[in-house]
Amino acid sequence: MTDAKSRIDETVKANDVVLFMKGTKEMPQCGFSSRVAGVLNYMGIDYADVNVLSDDEIRQGIKDYSDWPTIPQLYIKGEFVGGCDIITEMTLSGELDTMFEDNGVAYDKDAANKIREANA
């Protein structure tokens, strides 16, 4: 499992934003992954997607790496942020915007506001 851990660590450190998910950002393969990818895509975030379904070592390894039992998992600047419910809450509260701003990650503020308006 150390190989998976080192690959995960390299991916998380080499990219400003990483989403470990079931499927890809173009074709998510579960509802939770689809929701998080949809938010990131809509907000115009440049992020790396890692399809855990294509690699069993990564699928289990990411859970061990973060000590978080579910997928998807979002990382910003090497920091584990959370899964679907947390990302949804952070998006609606504006906390995700702040995290992107604090970390110098470009995003579409108007799109973020539209998400909040649609869910108000």
What residues are designated binding site?
A: 30
Give every strand in the sheet of 48-51, ordered side by side.
48-51, 17-21, 73-76, 79-82
Cα angle, residue 53 at apex, residues 50 and 54 outer, rounded to 5°:
75
Task: Identify the DSSP state of 68.
Answer: -
Q: Alpha-carbon distance 27 to 71, whole Å?
A: 15
Whether a cis peptide bond, with omega within 30° of 0, leads into 69 is no
Residues of the binding site for [2Fe-2S] cluster: 30
